[in-house]
Amino acid sequence: MSLSNPSQVLLRNSELLIAKAPLLINLPEDGFIDAYVELHQPTNIHCFNTNFIDYQALLNKHGSKVNTTFASFYQSNIHHDLVIIAFPKSKAELNFTLAMIAHCVTAETKILLVGEKKGGIQSAPKLTKEILSNCQKVDAARHCLLFVGFFQPEKLSKTFNLADWFKKYQLTVEGITLTIASLPGVFSQQKLDTGTELLLSNLPEKMSGNTLDFGCGAGIISCFIGKKFTDTRLSLLDVSALALTSAQETLTLNGLTGHVFASNSLSDVKEKYQFVVSNPPFHQGVKTHYQASEEFLAGINKRLTKQGKITIVANNFLRYQPIMQAHIGETHVITKAKGFTIYQAQLSSK
């Protein structure tokens, strides 16, 4: 894989990368680590990722040579002298990330923030002014920015309490009231999104047995199903550790249980399901995210029981119906509203 633009910007600032025990947060496996090791030969590299795909790629490439962690927050007994953070898509996630590493850095630890301009990284000094001192831009190239700053130890507690970071709210759909818990960066952190609301109002009339929530986010879909259809056995899948932790908390708050697990599309799906329900994740204009959802729809037939059903919601411009028709069976448009379409297909008996 060729070096991403943020990685190229980091490497052209080689003098800032000198460290014995660097911590790389949410950086992809794009060849950066190999280049970094060749340049500086750090004693111990630690990689923390909340994205399961990136975590797997790092683990498969580097094995035990690099300490890799997939979790919703970072824990370590090591003091890092350098932390490199890929600027998150959700600005709220940045201070969450800084708070979770307060226990393993000192006032001398360099904190590097790198990201593409279109991702909003130019707001980094403002966002971190209560945590980092002297957060300054040190480079701008390849449509990316690089900032460096240092912790203000007196401004942040060394004790990180995950429970403090959940955003909790209640919602009521079709007379069913749910309590939702969501960590920063998780889809629908503040409220029920339009697509999911439409999906919940257009589920199959009866549901029971093994039910998979693909791309579960904070667990709204599963909890609604679990409350409405008490004979379902819930499985919740997501690529994000933050989402999985949120979904588990949401289940608990609503007195429900389920199998919550990480998977790269269908990579870790082992069971078969009578029902699959999803608001498939995607980001407009980013090809790989379309591809992930399309691979899910093309492969889910192998994980459906005989006459198993799948119900999804999608933006009107997404061409999912032909894929479902080709790989699953006859696919119906249940409804269209507010820019979204509900599709439902039943596994063909062929």
Digits of tens for pLDDT over the chain (350 positions)? 589 999 999 999 999 999 999 999 999 999 999 999 999 999 899 999 999 999 999 999 999 999 999 999 999 999 999 999 999 988 889 999 999 999 999 999 999 999 999 999 999 999 999 899 889 999 999 999 999 999 987 777 778 999 999 999 999 999 999 999 999 999 766 778 999 999 999 999 999 999 999 999 999 999 999 999 999 999 999 999 999 999 999 999 999 999 999 999 999 999 999 999 999 876 543 344 667 788 999 999 999 999 999 999 999 988 899 999 999 999 999 999 999 999 999 998 76
151 lies in the same domain as 200: no
129 lies in the same domain as 11: yes
172 lies in the same domain as 142: no
CATH of residue 300's domain is 3.40.50.150
What is the reported pLDDT for 132? 93
What is the reported pLDDT for 286? 37
Cβ distance 305 to 272 under 8 Å?
yes
What is the reported pLDDT for 285? 36
154 lies in the same domain as 189: no
What is the reported pLDDT for 12? 96
Q: Which residue has tokens 């029981």? A: 305
What is the reported pLDDT for 350? 60
128 lies in the same domain as 35: yes
Q: What's phi and psi for 41, nearest 5 deg?
A: 45, 60
Q: Number of folded domains in the chain?
A: 2
222 lies in the same domain as 87: no
**Residue that finishes a domain, picked among 161, 194, 216:** 161
* Structural domain of 55: 5-161
69 lies in the same domain as 193: no
**Residue that finishes a domain, picked among 117, 137, 161:** 161
Which secondary structure element, helix H or strand E, spans residue 115, and what is its range?
strand 110-116
148 lies in the same domain as 240: no
What is the reported pLDDT for 284? 40
226 lies in the same domain as 257: yes
What is the reported pLDDT for 19? 97
**Residue that finishes a domain, picked among 161, 186, 210:** 161
26 lies in the same domain as 120: yes
Pairs from 32-35 (Cβ < 8 Å, separation ≥ 24): 32/3, 32/4, 32/7, 33/58, 33/61, 33/62, 33/66, 35/3, 35/7, 35/11
The three-class DSSP label of residue 350 is coil
What is the reported pLDDT for 135? 94
186 lies in the same domain as 148: no
R_g of the chain, CA atoms, integer Å = 22
182 lies in the same domain as 326: yes
